[in-house]
Amino acid sequence: MQGPDELIIFGRTYRIEEISPIHAAEGVLGLAAFREGVIYLDASLDAPLALSTLWHEAIHIAQQELLGTMDEAQARWIALFVHCLLFQNPEILRCYLEGFSPGLLDESL
Ligand SMILES: [Zn+2]
């Protein structure tokens, strides 16, 4: 997938690196290495699965940042929800692409 090379989550930049599909055999499609600042994605994923996995790992980082722990079930449903919401309502993205102020994030960043 030709996706982003990095994600900024709560002001910290995480590199996105593709890894060997060996992990797919174990059912692991991605990995959030919070301390290293890296999100690993299985290189063999198609675009929809890579994007939903990216959401999943980004949510794990947010959980670690906000809660100090990771919750697998929560990451699964939030990633699926956001992925499907954006896929079915792409006009939402236009608001972000047009460069409006992030509003409520202004004070926390
Ligand atoms: Zn997970």
Q: What are 45-102's pLDDT values in tens digits?
A: 899 999 999 999 999 999 999 999 999 999 999 999 999 999 999 999 888 888 777 6
Q: Which residues surround ligand 1, an ion (CB under 5 A)?
A: 72, 75
> Residue 19 belongs to what domain range?
6-105
Q: Measured in angstroms, how far is the CA atom of residue 74 from the centroid of ligand 1? A: 9
Q: Is the pLDDT of residue 17 over 60?
A: yes
Q: What is the pTM of this model?
A: 0.83
Tokens (6 digits) for 36: 């290293």
Q: What is the mean pLDDT of residues 12-16?
A: 97
> CA 20 to CA 51: how far, in whole Å?
17
Total domain count for the chain?
1
- DSSP tally for the chain: helices H, then strands E: 3, 4
pLDDT of 25 over the 70 cut: no
Instruction: Say if 99 falls within a structural domain.
Output: yes
Question: Is the pLDDT at 34 greater than 70, yes or no?
Answer: yes
Distance from residue 4's CA to the centre of ligand 1 (Å): 20
Residue at 50 is within a domain:
yes
In a domain, 1, yes or no: no
